[in-house]
Structure formats: C-alpha cells, structure tokens
Amino acid sequence: MEPDKNIRSVEEHRKDLLREAEQYRLVQLARSGRPPEDRIWTRLLNWLERRIIDLGCLLKSHFGGMARSSAETANQHPCNEIV
C-alpha cells in the first residue's frame, strides 16, 4: 500500500469513528432526557439536601425546637417525614 493511501485510509477510519461516537452520544442524550452534566449536579444537590436536612434534624433534637413550638409546625418538619 502506498503511504498516501494508508494515510487517507487511517484518516477516513478516524472520521468514521468520530461520527459513530457522536451518534452514540446523541442517542444517550436522547435516552436520558438531559445531559450527563445535569445528572451529576442533580445527584450532588440531592446529596447536599439530605445532609442539610440531617443536620437540621440533629440541631432540632439537640436544641428541642426552641424557635417554633407550634404542634402544627412540628408536624410539617422534614425530620418527622424521615422513615
């Protein structure tokens, strides 16, 4: 095989692989409904939300709900929803 044909063949193969990779990425994006970066941020924010609620519950148990003592408010508190 001539060097020029070999180089063209390699370049065509590379372009084919890039097209396939782009098509795969688009299929995955369509299946998930949102970009992978959004899913990572969503998972991070969900984790952070759970930690903040856990901290709030810990503080509530330590200080005994000094800020609000209403029974109705206490029933709406996220700590009462954790199973």
Within 13 A of 42's CA, how many CA atoms are on the CB side?
6
Counting every residue, how long is the chain?
Answer: 83
Q: What is the pLDDT of residues 74-83, one digit of tens each?
A: 555 556 655 4
Quick check: 49 pLDDT over 90?
Answer: yes
Greater confidence, 79 or 59?
59
pLDDT, position 74 = 52
Greater confidence, 67 or 48?
48
The CB density around residue 54, as the number of other CB atoms within 10 Å, is 13
pLDDT, position 81 = 59
Whole-model pTM: value is 0.39
